[in-house]
A and B are shown apart, each in its own frame.
Chain A
Amino acid sequence: MNDKKWIVLGLILFVGLFSFPFWFNVGKAAPAPEVVLTEQAKAAKECVMPTDFMKTEHMQLLDVWRLKVVRDGVSQFVNADGKEFDMSLSNTCLDCHSNKAEFCDRCHNYASVNPYCWDCHIDNPKGDK
């Protein structure tokens, strides 16, 4: 019937919407972002915890640190290797990873996360850049 053209139009619209990610990204390679380690981090070789753990659980680690410091008044963190760290966002994480823009932000932009921590916490404690 004469409805057919509307049905076909609707289908084209539907398939177009469904395949949006395919044509939105046409011609882009979009590899995973290269995170840059600072000289200091390179020298340290290892993060607070094993890299795999950091990749997936650093936000939870920070959450636990916050709990420990703010509620329990504990400020030292000892990792599995027995190394000691001051549990601080700006003074520990951003000490080694002082290049926040090329490290934290690069990865966060890729994954579309926008931590609100920097509303309060200073994001370049060393004052560079």
Chain B
Amino acid sequence: MNKFYMSSLLAIFALALIAWVGAPALPWLFGIVLPYLAVAVFVVGFVRRVMGWSRSAVPFAIPTTGGQQRSLPWIKQAKFDNPSSKTGVFVRMALEILTFRSLFRNTRMKMNEGNRLSYHLEIFLWLGALAFHYAFLVTLLRHMRFFLEPVPGAIQMLEAVDGFFRLEILYDSVQFGLPGVYMSGLVLLAAAAYLFLRRLFIANMRYISLPSDYFPLLLIMGIAFTGILMRYFTKVDIAAIKQLAMGLVTFQPSIPAAISPVFYIHLFFVSVLLAYFPFSKLMHLGGIFLSPTRNMLANTREVRHVNPWNYPVKVHTYEAYENEFREKMVEAGLPVDKMPESAPEEMTEEEKE
């Protein structure tokens, strides 16, 4: 039993309960005030966090390398895994951000045949993460239909592609298929659930997991779950919801009557996610771009990296010191590098300035 995921789970239930009980009584709070506040916290928090990072030092060149560094012309360089040019870094960053290559390299250590150690490709984290992030992106883009009027053709095209399968289940007791089923929403819930269960059931993952790992996953699962509930099971009035959403983005907020509490739970979860975002590990959205291990040139043998924040230290060299005190040193019988005869009246460096 791990109290970390239990506390996160309880927090999610508490949040759902707050919205469930609160929204019918105070729809303007959950439908207008909190979403606005959440967006403000998100934007200001995000910008502050990234600006904070932009001010921090990069004292060393610490690119991680995954292949041969540029050296002799007849040794093949791994251009993207050990990039020595800006193009190489750009490609490396793009591949990392769009395809999560570092997760693809995930391995698991195993003892087999008695005590032979071997490393196995462990691909499921990569698959799960890829499915999760792209499903999230598509769902988010599709949601733009609530916030844009007229709905742009690109969004409609995305909807058509996402609903391509026309999955339909139709019996007297279960009715599923109209409105059309969107794959991304289901994939999002499934992938988030997988990433959560992975932390629960793999012992060493559980060991390093904290509430700040469980909470965002559970929150996103809650968002996807309430969304799916609304679309396919307890139906909601989409026209009224779009009216509310359009009111928010045109700064003429209004609360149409009779929107199901499930929608307010969904919206409250999203508000919590937005407000929580800048203070959580979810900031890797911005952080990935600023990872020195990925975005620095791997040319450490060609170019000396000087920390640009180095404080210009005032030095007083021994030479200058001796110039200053040579006569006195000689008088006192101390050894000197240069005898005063050769440069009796020479000025010291500092005196010249």
Most buried by B among A52, A56, A59: A56
| Interface members, chain A 94-115 (any B CB < 8 Å) | 107, 109-114
Kindly identify which residue among B46, B51, B246, B308 contacts A25, using a CB–CB cutoff of 8 Å: B246
Instruction: Provide the residues of chain A in CB contact with B54, threshold 8 Å.
Output: 3-4, 7-8
Please tell me if the beta carbons of A14 and B175 are within 8 angstroms of each other in the complex. no
Which of B120-128, B220-228, B249-257, B318-326 binds A? Answer: B249-257
Binds A, one of B5-13, B70-78, B146-154, B201-209: B146-154
Q: A110–B170 contact, CB under 8 A? A: no
Which of B156, B175, B178, B250 touches A29 (beta carbons < 8 Å)?
B250
8 A Cβ contacts from A3-23 to B: 3-4, 7-8, 10-11, 14-15, 18-22
Per the bound structure, the CA–CA distance linking A42 and B258 in Å amounts to 23
For A107, the chain B residues whose CB sits under 8 A away are: 239
Q: Is A55 an interface residue (CB 8 A)?
A: yes
A63 adjacent to B149 (CB under 8 Å): no
Tell me the bound Cα distance from A30 to B47 in angstroms. 31
Interface centre among A14, A29, A30, A52 (most CB of B within 10 A): A30
Query: Could you tell me if B256 and A32 are in contact, using CB atoms closer than 8 angstroms?
Result: yes
Q: A81 to chain B: closest CB distance in Å?
A: 21
Is the CB–CB distance between A114 and B149 below 8 Å?
Answer: no
CA–CA, A19 to B238, complex, Å?
A: 22
Query: A28 contacts which of B159, B170, B250 (Cβ < 8 Å)?
Result: B250
- Chain A residues near B159: list those with CB within 8 A: 112, 114
Please tell me if A86 contacts chain B, counting CB pairs below 8 Å: no
Chain B residues lying within 8 Å of A11, measured Cβ to Cβ, are: 46-47, 50-51
Interface membership of A120, Cβ < 8 A: no
Choose one: A10, A32, A57; the contact of B243 (CB below 8 Å): A32
**Given known contacts A3-B54, A18-B43, A57 and B235 CB-to-CB distance under 8 angstroms:** yes
Give Cα A26–Cα B249 distance, bound, in whole angstroms: 8
Contact of A111 with B238 in the complex, beta carbons under 8 Å: yes
Whether A1 contacts B47 in the complex (CB less than 8 A), given A25-B149, A30-B149, A112-B156, comes out as no
| Bound Cα distance A29, B249 (Å) | 10
- A55 vs B308: C-alpha distance when bound (angstroms): 63
Distance (whole angstroms) from the CB of B254 to the closest CB of chain A: 9
Q: Are B148 and A56 in contact (CB under 8 A)?
A: no
Q: Which residues of B contact A52 (CB under 8 A)?
A: 237, 258
Complex Cα distance A24/B155, Å?
14
Q: Within the complex, which residue of A21, A32, A60 is in contact with B239, where a contact is CB–CB below 8 Å?
A: A32
Do the beta carbons of B237 and A56 come within 8 Å of each other?
Answer: yes
Asked if A32 and B240 sit within 8 Å, CB to CB, the answer is: yes
B171 to chain A, nearest CB (A): 8
Nearest CB of chain A from residue B138's CB, rounded to whole Å: 15
Are the CB atoms of B178 and A63 closer together than 8 Å? yes
Residue of A4, A21, A29, A62 with most partner-chain B CB within 10 A: A21
Which residue of chain A is the closest to B230 with respect to CB atoms? A56
Least distance between B13 CB and chain A CB atoms (Å): 26
Which residues of A are in contact with B by a Cβ distance under 8 Å?
1, 3-4, 7-8, 10-11, 14-15, 18-22, 24-26, 28-33, 52, 55-57, 59-60, 62-64, 67, 107, 109-114
- A sample of 22 cross-chain residue pairs with beta-carbon separation below 8 angstroms, ordered by A number, consists of A1-B309, A4-B54, A11-B47, A11-B51, A25-B147, A25-B149, A25-B246, A26-B250, A29-B250, A31-B243, A31-B246, A32-B240, A32-B242, A33-B239, A60-B178, A60-B235, A62-B178, A64-B175, A107-B239, A109-B150, A111-B238, A114-B160
